[in-house]
Amino acid sequence: MNSHPSPQGGWLALPLIAFASFGSVASAQSLSSLTDYSVVVSGNLSTNSDIEGRTIVGGNITSSSSANFGIRLQNTVPRSDLVLRVAGNIVAGNPIQLNAGSLELGGSRNNRIVNYNGGGSLVSNPGVNYSGIIEDLTLASQNLATYGSNSNALFISNGPGQPGPFRMTASPDSAGLAVFSINSNNLFGNNLVQQIELLTNNSTNILINVAGQSVNWTAGNMVGNLTQNKWRERVVWNFYQATSIDFGSRNMMGQVLAPNATVTTSANIDGSIFAKNLITTSEVHLPGYRGSIVVIPEPSTSLLGIIGATALLFLRRRSH
């Protein structure tokens, strides 16, 4: 028998079917929503401060204090631009300042005053949800967590029990992506960390996968490259396991993925954030995401089952 059958003989049909199935069942997720929005929460938002870009709230705005939205979008977007989008309700309280665009609201405003400083208006949209954006970012976080580390992260002590820097040294792949895998306790829970450093080494994108369900940032500040807009746009912190994150009074720099976490902070976040809930008494700053990480999902169990069944059927046919 010919050991290399032609396509007409069916030998190459299986790979073609497999790739076709992969293309139709599993499509790449995107981080582009973090380019468009400073804050995306699937649940509730509490803030008494400023959010510079656009905001999506899948649940409710639960804070009664005055807050500013779209403050850096003034005179840059049309009045009809949906800068603040809330699927649920806005609790009663002090006036909200919407400095650009309009408010999309699925629930009740509870007579809360909204000052449309950019000339926008209320767009009532009962039943609205943002599941497409939320699911896309959630799947992106899950799939990015599977990326293998190619770069080194190490706490450098000046001696036993002595403080020192936590240094991340990038070794990017051929596409310029550097991937770090970090246990949250080794960085955010280490009281000996004085500063957090990033050596980029010709990287174009940085992915930092952080393991741990409870993250409590107790010591150390981000310095150097992490303070530059160029890298805050391209560094992605993926808290893929976390259910609780407290940044405390320390400035988070970069794009934050925390799909299952309630994030609490009293310091600025310099970059966009996706979380379950966000409780902040400080500002969320631009820049948004400007990186180019391609998020390619793992084949699903159902897809693997389809491929396996197709292979079995093919082999049975070949045996007759």
Q: Dump pLDDT digits (tens) for 263-304.
A: 999 999 999 999 999 999 999 999 999 999 989 876 654 444
Q: Dump pLDDT digits (tens) for 150-177.
A: 999 999 998 888 999 999 999 999 999 9
Residue 224 has pLDDT above 90, yes or no: yes
Whole-number percent of the chain with pLDDT over 70: 84
Instruction: Provide CB contacts within 8 A for 164, sequence distance 6+.
Output: 155, 156, 157, 158, 192, 193, 194
Binned at pLDDT 50, 70 and 90, residue 308 comes out as: low
Residue 311 has pLDDT above 50, yes or no: no
Model pLDDT, residue 29: 79
Closest-CA residue to 262 (of 245, 248, 249, 247):
245
Q: Which of 28-42, 84-98, 285-299 has the lowest mean pLDDT?
A: 285-299
> What is the domain partition of the chain in residue ranges?
146-296
Q: Is the separation of the CB atoms in 230 and 249 below 8 Å?
A: no
Model pLDDT, residue 161: 86
Residue 21 has pLDDT above 90, yes or no: no
Task: Order the strands of the 50-51 sheet from edge to edge.
Answer: 114-116, 96-98, 67-69, 50-51, 284-285, 269-270, 252-253
Mean residue pLDDT across the chain: 89
Token code pair at residue 234: 């391209």
Model pLDDT, residue 313: 52
Residue 23 CA, chain-centre distance (Å), reads: 24
Binned at pLDDT 50, 70 and 90, residue 230 comes out as: very high
**Alpha carbon distance 137, 145 (integer Å):** 12
Q: Is the separation of the CB atoms in 161 and 188 below 8 Å?
A: no
pTM metric for this prediction = 0.86
Residue 24 has pLDDT above 60, yes or no: no
